[in-house]
């Protein structure tokens, strides 16, 4: 477990950065043209979203595995990584949809990834801090990942719920 916790900062940042970049493409005008063509098929809109989302999941999980394999990984850690990538992929798609401009999300990606990792306790253990920082770190995906990898089922469930909420918000915002 110590190897996972000592190396998770790198893979969390790499995964978030990659997902922000992939989300930029998924919300780009070219991608929207492809999605428009797919809408002529039965369930085309869902097919377009799911195919883009699965590609992001594969990119994110692949990145995490490439970074983590040298340290060794357990099934519980792999499940936590999958839940983390699920949550972050949904979150980055939502952010990319809201920012509208590709240049904005490309400029924001490294800062958002760093801020999320800092607030989640990636660089240092902030669970010993009293008050709001420790409570917030549990709710942020990088912080929930640390707890889920340690066996906390509530944190694992929280990652899945946050991902589902981001997907729901994306569908609501994209309809408007």
Assess contact for 81 and 145: CB atoms under 8 A. Answer: yes
Closest by alpha carbon to 81, among 64, 67, 66, 69? 64
pLDDT (tens place) for every residue of the chain, 176 residues total: 444 544 456 677 778 888 888 887 777 777 777 777 777 788 877 787 788 889 889 988 888 888 788 877 888 888 999 999 999 999 888 888 888 666 666 677 777 777 777 776 666 666 666 777 777 777 888 888 888 888 899 999 999 999 999 999 988 988 77
Q: Model pTM greater than 0.85?
A: no
Neighbouring C-beta atoms of residue 117, cutoff 10 Å: 21
């Amino acid at each position: 477990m110590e190897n996972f916790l000592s190396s998770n900062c790198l893979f969390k940042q790499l995964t978030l950065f990659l997902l922000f970049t992939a989300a930029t493409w998924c919300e780009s005008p070219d991608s929207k043209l492809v999605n428009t063509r797919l809408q002529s098929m039965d369930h085309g809109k869902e097919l377009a979203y799911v195919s883009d989302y699965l590609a992001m999941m594969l990119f994110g999980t692949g990145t995490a595995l490439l970074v983590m394999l040298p340290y060794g990984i357990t099934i519980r850690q792999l499940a936590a990584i999958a839940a983390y990538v699920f949550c972050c992929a949904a979150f980055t798609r939502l952010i990319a949809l809201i920012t509208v401009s590709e240049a904005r999300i490309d400029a924001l990606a490294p800062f958002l990834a760093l801020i999320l990792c800092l607030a989640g306790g990636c660089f240092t253990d902030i669970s010993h801090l009293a008050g709001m920082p420790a409570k917030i770190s549990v709710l942020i995906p990088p912080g929930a990942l640390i707890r889920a990898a340690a066996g906390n089922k509530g944190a694992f469930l929280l990652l899945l719920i946050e991902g589902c909420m981001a997907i729901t918000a994306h569908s609501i915002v994209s309809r408007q």
